[in-house]
Amino acid sequence: MVRVGVVGAGGRMGEEVCRAVQQAPDLTLVAAIDPAHIGGDAGGCVIMGEVNALSDLGAQVVVDFTIADAVRHNMRHYAQQKVHAVIGTSGLGDEDLRQLRRCFEGAGVNAIVAANFAIGAVLLVHFSRLAAPHMDGVEVIELHHDAKRDAPSGTAMHTARAIEEGRRAAGRGPLPPDPTTDVVLAGARGAEGAGGVHVHSVRLPGLVAHEEVLFGAPGQSLSIRHDSYDRVSFMPGVLLAVRSVADRPGVTVGLETLLGL
Q: Which residues are part of the catalytic machinery? A: 144, 148
- Name 106's bridge partners: none
Closest CA to 42 of 6, 89, 83: 6
223 burial type by CB count under 10 A (0-12 exposed, 13-18 middle, 19+ buried): exposed
Q: Distance (Å, rounded) from C-alpha 62 to C-alpha 4?
A: 6
66-91 burial, b if ≥16 CB within 10 A, otherwise e? Answer: bebebbeebbbbbbebebbbbbbbbb
Q: Is 225 helix (H, G, I), strand (E, B) or coil?
A: strand
Phi, psi (degrees; rounded to nearest 5) at 49: -105, -10
Residue 152: asked if its preceding bond is cis (omega within 30°), the reply is yes
H-helix or E-strand containing 160?
helix 154-169
In contact, 258 and 244? CB cutoff 8 Å:
yes
Q: Is 23 helix (H, G, I), strand (E, B) or coil?
A: helix
In contact, 139 and 182? CB cutoff 8 Å:
no
